[in-house]
Chains A and B, each alone.
Chain A
């Protein structure tokens, strides 16, 4: 379990080198050492583990003002799982009990209930968020478009299961349509287990471990990783959650533990999977320039950030224009941008400048929240998932 007591040893692995200052998006905005992993860990240690400092409003603020982007964890040579320690601290402080926690854990536990989702939207608006800052729900969710098993086109190479994240299901079904299109064209039969719920990452971000555990259990019961070549996700955050956190959210002796580990071994981001297995069908051309906003939740696969570059960069007519700092955060971080609007907007403004400077036609990214948040800030460039561009390239062949 992601409980703080399990991190008593690990928290002291922090060498206090301070190298986390190099990549923490919040620190780079504030330039306050209070808001960087080295101090967050030290404080959590003093307040919640050693009890040598009292808890306080300021302490909670510092624990709260973290994007859980994992950039520090990826930078950390001591490999301290900062994100997990922050999540455990939030659980201890008792976050997840507020309105947003309720929305995150209860609403996303159900699917196909678009009505409920829009109710969630109106709740969020009551929190003082203007409509245009909220992503628009798609008129038809992905699970209303596709369900069950979709056969491979041509010779079948194997079967994969598709974990449909909330971003794709509710906001960007076009990503899911492209995932199915590209997989089936490449000989993969796609199984979409019915009854899937949110991966649980929004819930753990709020420190709601019990809520997340329920979602984990629901999803684990639906998937049968042993009978598929891979379980595909199009979202790097769902992927990280399933790969790195599912097992940790269960007790060591939980009967679902074995399945959680099997699923972790089978989960692949769609472009990563396509790159690994190779394309059996040749895509057509992609007559546009694109730039790649690498999602922060990339640490769970060493190749997930190369895949879109390799798959799309070599297509006829495609031109990859690398960003000044390809891995810099956009500031959205799940629902962080709703609660920390000024901070997120100022993180984003630097990112937008870099994207505009690239003068690329299209921005690709494998995170639906980055996609929404960058789109909302960009004037003319469109933001999309790399698999959508790949699907488009296939469709230039068919047409």
Chain B
């Protein structure tokens, strides 16, 4: 055991510190394994906020980099340590502290797995909508840190819309509690939402308060096969404008449907140019009403086909296939890099056409799926070989995609965050005044620059 691991063990006890290379390898990457990284020098697995505080004050004192980590399922490299140091794995902070039905709030530790939390609240007839596609493994603290969203964003918003308070260990080891159980607060700066999306660069999120909704009793899944991209976009806008907002509304192109047909039976027709997979939810009467409205719109606008999936179990297969899209693509390709551009939803057809043009002009395949309702699209750059030429092409395609997303009035990341992956594009979207302001905020929280260094902006997070 090295000196660092010995010190850490002395601070938090046996069985919570890893320092063997075979273990460190497991914490050297997140889902973006294609970035070159430096494995950490130690991994800690604290079980309490107090332990996290002791680790951070030690790291602060010794100027050791700290990378907080949830499930390591992120797509931006946010949980990837680039300067070694200590990885703080939060997954053993996994207690659901309280589910308060009277106030419709819950309090959890940062490492609670989202799906476990979904199950726990839904058992009580309550609902926590945020649904990043990694929900079977990802943790709520890390959802807050990346401002994670998912298909339900269109109707229900993302993690940030539900967070009402946080417990955070600051880089020097002090612990703050922001916000609380209340859903309204007007007291000073909103540190809760400053921490939300801070990607581990300001502190470690060890506790989260969220507000809850009532669980919609009925859901129904529908697939609309559209003649054209424009028709799909017009349908999306019309459905939302008419108030029949689905809980999820996923946009897919033929390639994605071909992938999905590996899971669903009977297979979906592949003769449309675009597809909308949606789930409507609410009371039985509401669902019926919304379904009729949507079907009426589809008839009026002459969509090719509407498939309603009555059987709950079958419907789950469609959604499971949707969330498996990214890893499934890996059965075909050697590398896939998923982008996260978000545009005003009326610009989706422009974006889709641009994606196709970029793929053709660069000479690389780009898959496409996304959350149509909120304009958050996931073009995925696919490489069937890993070599310098393909990597250069991939980079060129990503540059062009991001440039185009911004031209269409969009943003470079809707829900994945910046991490390492998008740091070179940060100043494409934000002006220098904002970036400098962010750096000053960073310096105020973390004057020694130990928290998740090398993320968000290109160098180190320091001025």
Q: Which residues of A contact B (CB under 8 A)?
A: 12-19, 21-22, 31-34, 36, 38-39, 42-43, 46, 53, 56, 58-59, 62, 75-79
List A contacts of B26 (CB < 8 A): 32-34, 36, 38-39, 42-43
Select which of B32, B89, B137, B327 is within 8 A of A78 by beta carbon. Answer: B327
List B contacts of A59 (CB < 8 A): 22
CA distance A19 to B327 in the complex (A): 9
CA distance A340 to B334 in the complex (A): 36
List B contacts of A19 (CB < 8 A): 73, 134, 136-137, 327
Residue of B21, B45, B94, B329 with highest tally of chain A CB at under 10 A: B21
B336 interface contact, C-beta 8 A? yes
How far is the CB of B382 from the nearest CB of chain A, in Å?
Answer: 12
CA distance A42 to B72 in the complex (A): 14
A17 touches B89 (CB 8 A): no
A77 touches B328 (CB 8 A): yes
B4-23 to A contact mask, C-beta < 8 Å, 1/0: 00000000000000101111
Q: A38-B26, A58-B23 are in contact. Are A77 and B45 (CB under 8 A)?
A: no
Query: Considering the complex, which residues of chain B in the window 119-137 have a beta carbon less than 8 Å from any beta carbon of chain A?
Result: 134, 136-137
| Interface CB pairs A-B, < 8 A, 25 | A15-B336, A16-B30, A17-B31, A17-B326, A18-B30, A18-B71, A18-B72, A18-B73, A19-B134, A21-B73, A22-B115, A22-B136, A32-B18, A32-B26, A33-B26, A33-B89, A39-B26, A42-B25, A42-B26, A43-B25, A58-B20, A58-B21, A62-B22, A78-B331, A79-B331
B334 touches A12 (CB 8 A): yes
B328 touches A78 (CB 8 A): yes
User: What residue in chain B is nearest A33 (Cβ atoms)?
Assistant: B26
- Given A31-B91, A33-B27, 19 more contacts at CB 8 Å? A15-B329, A17-B134, A18-B31, A19-B136, A21-B71, A31-B92, A34-B18, A38-B26, A39-B25, A43-B22, A43-B26, A46-B25, A53-B21, A56-B20, A58-B22, A76-B327, A77-B325, A77-B327, A77-B331
A17 touches B22 (CB 8 A): no
Query: Considering the complex, which residues of chain B in the window 37-53 have a beta carbon less than 8 Å from any beta carbon of chain A?
Result: 45
B316 interface contact, C-beta 8 A? no
CA distance A59 to B94 in the complex (A): 28
How far is the CB of B52 from the nearest CB of chain A, in Å?
Answer: 15
Contact-size category for B: 35 or more
Residue of B20, B71, B113, B330 with highest tally of chain A CB at under 10 A: B330
List the 6 closest pairs (A to B, CB-CB), nearest first.
Answer: A77-B327, A39-B26, A77-B324, A22-B136, A15-B330, A16-B33
Residue of A18, A42, A43, A46 with highest tally of chain B CB at under 10 A: A18
List B contacts of A16 (CB < 8 A): 29-33
A32 touches B45 (CB 8 A): yes
B23 touches A22 (CB 8 A): no
User: What residue in chain A is nearest B70 (Cβ atoms)?
Assistant: A18
CA distance A251 to B334 in the complex (A): 27
CA distance A31 to B71 in the complex (A): 10
Q: Which residues of B contact A (CB under 8 A)?
A: 18, 20-23, 25-27, 29-33, 45, 71-73, 89, 91-92, 94, 113, 115, 134, 136-137, 324-331, 334, 336
CA distance A78 to B33 in the complex (A): 15
User: What residue in chain B is nearest A20 (Cβ atoms)?
Assistant: B137
How far is the CB of A190 from the nearest CB of chain B, in Å?
Answer: 33
B134 touches A18 (CB 8 A): yes
List A contacts of B134 (CB < 8 A): 17-19
How far is the CB of B255 from the nearest CB of chain A, in Å?
Answer: 16
CA distance A59 to B23 in the complex (A): 9
How far is the CB of B352 from the nearest CB of chain A, in Å?
Answer: 24
- Total number of A-B contacts with CB less than 8 angstroms? 94
List A contacts of B336 (CB < 8 A): 15
How far is the CB of B159 from the nearest CB of chain A, in Å?
Answer: 19
User: What residue in chain A is nearest B327 (Cβ atoms)?
Assistant: A77
User: What residue in chain B is nearest A12 (Cβ atoms)?
Assistant: B334
How far is the CB of B279 from the nearest CB of chain A, in Å?
Answer: 20
List A contacts of B331 (CB < 8 A): 13, 77-79
List A contacts of B23 (CB < 8 A): 32, 34, 58
User: What residue in chain A is nearest B20 (Cβ atoms)?
Assistant: A58
CA distance A230 to B137 in the complex (A): 40
CA distance A168 to B72 in the complex (A): 43
CA distance A43 to B330 in the complex (A): 19
CA distance A22 to B113 in the complex (A): 9
How far is the CB of A91 from the nearest CB of chain B, in Å?
Answer: 19
A15 touches B18 (CB 8 A): no
CA distance A59 to B25 in the complex (A): 11
CA distance A164 to B298 in the complex (A): 57
List A contacts of B94 (CB < 8 A): 31
List B contacts of A79 (CB < 8 A): 331
How far is the CB of B121 from the nearest CB of chain A, in Å?
Answer: 16
User: What residue in chain A is nearest B73 (Cβ atoms)?
Assistant: A18
List B contacts of A56 (CB < 8 A): 20-22
Select which of B136, B137, B326 is within 8 A of A15 by beta carbon. Answer: B326
User: What residue in chain B is nearest A62 (Cβ atoms)?
Assistant: B22
How far is the CB of B50 from the nearest CB of chain A, in Å?
Answer: 18
CA distance A38 to B113 in the complex (A): 18
CA distance A33 to B20 in the complex (A): 13
Residue of A13, A33, A79 with highest tally of chain B CB at under 10 A: A33
CA distance A59 to B24 in the complex (A): 12
CA distance A42 to B25 in the complex (A): 8
CA distance A58 to B26 in the complex (A): 13
List B contacts of A34 (CB < 8 A): 18, 22-23, 25-26
Select which of B21, B29, B137, B329 is within 8 A of A21 by beta carbon. Answer: B137
List B contacts of A78 (CB < 8 A): 327-328, 330-331
CA distance A79 to B329 in the complex (A): 10
